[in-house]
Chains A and B, each alone.
Chain A
Amino acid sequence: MNNKVYNNRAWLLVLPMLVLVAFSAIIPLMTVVNYSVQDVLGPHASFFTGTEWFRTMLNDPALQTAFGRQILFSLTILAIQIPLGIGIALIMPKQGWQASAVLILITLPLLIPWNVVGSIWQIFTRGDIGLMGWSLREIGIEYNITRNAGDAWFTIILMDVWHWTPLVAMLCYSGLRSIPEAYYQAARIDRASKWAVFRYIQLPKLTNVLVIAVLLRFMHSFMIYAEPFVLTGGGPGSSTTFLSQSLATMAIGQQDLGPSAAFSIIYFLVILLVSWVFYTTIMHMQKDKTPQGGA
């Protein structure tokens, strides 16, 4: 890490990747930038509008509420998933066939296509044919995700916790596995309490993976599209319409090229800003970290 050799021929190794990513990222991104500053009326009729679309988008009350909703959603699921994931990782068996079995079962929700996750929960929460919706109705709770915004929110958060807590748990689990047994022995000799073991041995070792977990979870929850789209379609009203869905409706549904491009760029910049903060944090932590084997 510190003993990297300075060699510009390394660019040759990076080049194939660069060409491919440029094709799938730079060209489309430039198209978006292009649209965001123009009013496109036809194939050969467009004029420059400058920052007009950006100002329109930033002042759009529907988007402002969608943005607030998005932040609230991301923070809520982080607040639930991170502690829950750590808790699950702590009680997972460490070896034997049970460890493999638990591992496979827990990873399962991660590998289901996102729209199928939406379908699963849509079915599961229906009052007539879904287990959860039906049970809640039987015990007398008014529960209807297509009519009641609170129920819709509750269900989307439950779905996201169901879907993504396994990722946090898996990350923490592999972090815990890398703690040498000697640390626990030392703690036993000191007769450290369980809390002390967690606070001073396990948690510090988990910091790195937790940063990755928070980063991945923040990013994905901020881009969430398919699951709420299938589950609630953004409703009732627009109470569960998140940013991606507003954007997709605007770009594909209404074909508003200029405004949706400006919106895309603002959206991207927000995620970029947050990720930059995380990136510097990770780099900072790696600088402090003493290199060790065993990946």
Chain B
Amino acid sequence: MSYQIENTQQGEKYNTIFSKVPAATRRKRNTRSRLRKRLLLGTYIVLLMLPIYWLLNMSLQTNSEILGSMTLWPKNLTFDNYIGIFSNPSWYMGYVNSITYVLMNMLITMLVALPAAYAFSRYKFIGDKHLFFWLLTNLMAPPAVFLLPYFQLYYSVGLFDTHIAVALAHCLFNIPLAIWILEGFMSSVPKEIDETAYIDGYSFPKFFVKIFIPMISSGIGVVLFFLFMFSWVELLLARTLTSTDAQPIGMIMTRTSTASGIDWGTLAAAGMLTIVPGILVVYFVRNHIAKGFALGRT
């Protein structure tokens, strides 16, 4: 890091020597352009947050206030919608179900994807290229294509309406994604590291767990982020493979529209609660994400 700062300062110096524009003008120009950047970015983020803010706003209002008048912020702040969700098992179990199958899926995917990605990044073997391409094609299969066969398959093996069924179904796109990203990260680790470890007497499993996995930890962070993201947001398969015991929260939300109209407050509160796990995940991986988002291929 320190050499970079030194270099930057040198760069500034060169700039001052050769540039015809006086330093003061240049500095003013820089602050102005930085201000403009901040303004643009600020506008974008405000626009980005506006729909989410509106959901939050509605979740803190009573239904009569939502329908009665246009209020930009809740006049009579109420947490009844949230309390309603947390005191009703048929509501909060939806969250438990969703989180259960997402975590199961992350675990299964990581267990099989790590060794497979290592094989792809380090070895040549018969059919490796074809296998890799075939994996990527699974990433591209529209879930709608697999609706019917999945339903029949999991029904016939007795896994219908279980968490593991959804976790396995999501492996369809999560395993190829994980292997694709991990392969990029693993390939950027020099092969000499493996060889040195073997010379030092490490066995393969010991080397893999003790040395290799810590080296690609930021890659693993990013992969976990992606696995969570795609499993958490997917609903088409999750909905088809469950009926009552493992129903995801997204499906339970449709219950808010009853004969007497839509319960907007509860719908908004349930929607807000689906955003919370996402915020937690981003917060934990925020330092890895900036570098790792390029999937190890920058």
Q: Are B123 and A248 in contact (CB under 8 A)?
A: no
Q: Are B218 and A222 in contact (CB under 8 A)?
A: no
B199 within 8 A of A: no
Q: Are B236 and A225 in contact (CB under 8 A)?
A: yes
From 139 to 187 in chain A, residues with beta carbon under 8 angstroms from any chain B beta carbon are 162, 166, 170-171, 173-175, 177-178, 181-182, 184-185
Identify whether the interface residues of B are mostly helix, strand, loop, or mixed. Answer: helix
Q: Are A17 and B279 in contact (CB under 8 A)?
A: no
A170 to B222, CA, bound (A): 12
Q: A27-B153, A225-B144, A295-B298 are in contact. Are A103 and B289 (CB under 8 A)?
A: yes
B107 within 8 A of A: no
Q: A25-B141, A295-B298 are in contact. Are A111 and B175 (CB under 8 A)?
A: no
Q: Are B15 and A222 in contact (CB under 8 A)?
A: no
Q: Are B108 and A20 in contact (CB under 8 A)?
A: yes
Q: A111-B278, A115-B235 are in contact. Are A268 and B142 (CB under 8 A)?
A: yes
Nearest chain B residue, comparing its CB with the CB of A222: B142
CB distance from B66 to the nearest CB of A (A): 6
Q: A21-B135, A248-B144, A251-B147 are in contact. Are A205 and B295 (CB under 8 A)?
A: no
Which of A115, A116, A251 contacts B144 (CB under 8 A)? A251
A116 to B175, CA, bound (A): 25
Which of A4, A107, A116, A188 contacts B274 (CB under 8 A)? A116
Which of B48, B172, B271, B279 contacts A162 (CB under 8 A)? B48
Within 8 Å CB of A182, what residues of B?
A: 7
A interface bracket (residues with beta carbon within 8 Å of B): 35 or more
Nearest chain A residue, comparing its CB with the CB of B138: A25
Q: Are A103 and B282 in contact (CB under 8 A)?
A: yes
Interface centre among A9, A24, A177 (most CB of B within 10 A): A24
Q: Mark A67-91, 1 if CB is under 8 A from B, else 0.
A: 0000000000000000000001001
Q: Mark A202-230, 1 if CB is under 8 A from B, else 0.
A: 00010011001000000100110110000
Nearest chain B residue, comparing its CB with the CB of A99: B290
Q: How many residues from B make CB contacts under 8 Å with A?
A: 114
Nearest chain B residue, comparing its CB with the CB of A119: B271
B213 within 8 A of A: no
A41 within 8 A of B: no
Within 8 Å CB of A225, what residues of B?
A: 143-144, 236
Q: A103-B290, A106-B45 are in contact. Are A17 and B123 (CB under 8 A)?
A: no
Q: Are B124 and A6 in contact (CB under 8 A)?
A: yes
A237 within 8 A of B: no
Q: Mark B112-154, 1 if CB is under 8 A from A, else 0.
A: 1101101110111110100101011111111111111110110
B90 within 8 A of A: no
A103 to B41, CA, bound (A): 12
Q: Are B50 and A131 in contact (CB under 8 A)?
A: yes
Q: Are B141 and A268 in contact (CB under 8 A)?
A: yes
- A-B pairs, top 4 by smallest CB distance, nearest first, are A111-B278, A28-B149, A10-B123, A185-B11
List 17 contacting pairs A-B, 8 Å CB cutoff, sorted by A: A16-B111, A25-B172, A31-B148, A32-B145, A103-B289, A105-B49, A116-B253, A123-B268, A131-B50, A166-B48, A170-B289, A178-B294, A223-B142, A252-B240, A272-B137, A286-B297, A295-B297
Which of B's residues lie within 8 Å of A, judged by CB? Answer: 4, 7-8, 10-11, 14-15, 18-19, 37-38, 40-41, 44-45, 47-52, 54-55, 58, 66-67, 70, 72, 108, 111-113, 115-116, 118-120, 122-126, 128, 131, 133, 135-150, 152-153, 168-169, 171-172, 175-176, 179, 184-185, 187-188, 190-191, 216, 218-219, 228-229, 232-236, 240, 249-250, 253, 264, 267-268, 271, 274-275, 277-279, 281-283, 286-287, 289-298
